[in-house]
Structures are given as structure tokens and as C-alpha cells.
Amino acid sequence: MNKLILGRYFPGQSFLHHLDPRAKIIAGFYFIIILFLANNWQAYLLLWLFTLLVIRLSEISFLIYIRGLKPLIWLILFTVFLQILFTAGGHIYVEYGMITISQFGLMNGFYIFCRFIMIVFISTVITLTTKPIDLTDGINRLLHPLRYLKIPVDEMALMLSISLRFIPNLLDEAQKVMDAQRARGTEFGVGNVLQQMKALVPIFIPLFVSSLNRAEDLANTLEVRGYQTSKLRSSYRKLHWCSKDTNVMLIMVLLTICLVFLRLITS
């Protein structure tokens, strides 16, 4: 639990910390989209260099990103493993029934592995360098046009803000419950799958109860303070789009042009 860094914010004074959250959100989603333009090793090398440069600009230790990747690595490897076994094409190395290990499958599996890792890294950069409340404000401002379609943007932003705010608390509380259960003699990760699932029951029940109590306290607090999403509200925090945010968008466009060029010259 303590290895997950989703929703955690690392204070700092780096270039990325001072960017407008809207710029980081747009750039993050844009990067995920243009990942699919890469179809050769030159393009993936360029994307890796860009990703490592972004991590360097965050001024946060690379080991922290690796620590955040560890809980997801088995899911990523499982996806890559399925891609390798059930994708045919090119030279066939192993063929047994439905299982085929081919040149295209290995290459495609490697590309998918790179995509997952870079998506995790870029998403982690955004959460580590952006306060949860600023991230929520950015999403709220980006979704503002949807209000004209009668979509409850404010409610969505409030739910997102609460979720991001309490994810670290929930993980820390889960760790405390696990430590308390270990002190009572419970062993985690021992036995078959069914036994391991049974060992998790004493964790889920206290977490579920505490989450309900926290939600009730939060709802009472919002009600006492007269919070209503349907009312027009002012904001203490103001988002300012600066020239450096525009430069980030231009860099993303330049990266796209480079990927398209590499795709054309190798096709």
C-alpha cells in the first residue's frame, strides 16, 4: 500500500510545478494519444527521451517513479505476455496450438510495454507536481463548456477532488489496519489464492466502515457550511495561462510532427 503514489503531491519549485494545471492535463492526454503514432524503434526512442526529460524537469527522484510503478508492473507484464502469445506475424519462433510466439508478437509486446510505462510515468508526473485541488480546478475549467449541455460539471469536479484528496489517507489507513492484523497473527501473502483472499477480509471491513463514517462526516460538513453546487460560486484560487504554458503546447505539436515524420520515412 505504501508504494502507491497515486494522488500524492510532492511540493517543489520546478518548471513543471509552476505550470498551469490545465496545460499539464491537456499535455498529458495529448501525449497518450500521440503514443499510438509510434510504430518503430526510432519513434519510441524519441518518446523515451521526451519522457525522461519531463521526469528530469520535475526535479523529483527517479526512484520515486519506479516505486510508483512497482504495484502495476505485474499487470503490465501480464498484458504484454498475452500480446506475445496470441499475436502472429513475421518469423515464427514457437507454435503450439493457439499459442504462437512470433517476431511481430515480440516486437508488438515490447512496444505495448513501452507505452504502458510511459503512460504511468507521465501520469505520475502530473499528480506529483500538481496539488489535488489545482488539478480539480483545472479539470473543472476544461469541462466548463459542458455546462451548456446540462452536464453537472461542478458535481463531477467535487467528486474528483474528494477522491484525489482521500486516496493517500485511505492507503495509509489500509497500511495501519494490515499492521494491526499482523500484530494479531494474521499472515498476508501466504497460502493459496483462496486463503490469501480470506486474509484480506479483516482489512476490507474496517476500511469500508471508516470510509462510510468519513463520507458522512464530510457530507455533514458540506451541509453545515451551506455548500451547493447549483449556486454560482467565486474561487479563491485563480488559474493563469502564461507564455510557458503556450510553449508547452507548441512543444507537444513539435513532438507530433517528429513522430509523423518518423512514421512516414519508415513506412
Sheet with 86-87, strands from edge to edge, namely: 86-87, 99-102, 92-96
Strands, E assignment, the chain: 86-87, 92-96, 99-102
If pLDDT is split at 50, 70 and 90, which confidence band does 48 have? Answer: very high
**Strand 92-96 vs strand 99-102: parallel, antiparallel, or unpaired?**
antiparallel
Q: What is the DSSP letter of 202?
A: H
Please compute the mean of the pLDDT values over residues 227-238 and round it to a whole number.
Answer: 70
- The predicted pLDDT at position 1 comes to 47
217-230 mean pLDDT: 79
Q: Which residue has the higher pLDDT, 83 or 53?
A: 53
Rg (CA), the chain: 22
Say how far apart CA 29 and CA 142 lie, in whole Å. 13
Share the mean pLDDT of the chain: 82
pLDDT band at 253 (very low <50, low <70, confident <90, very high): very high
pLDDT score, position 31: 95
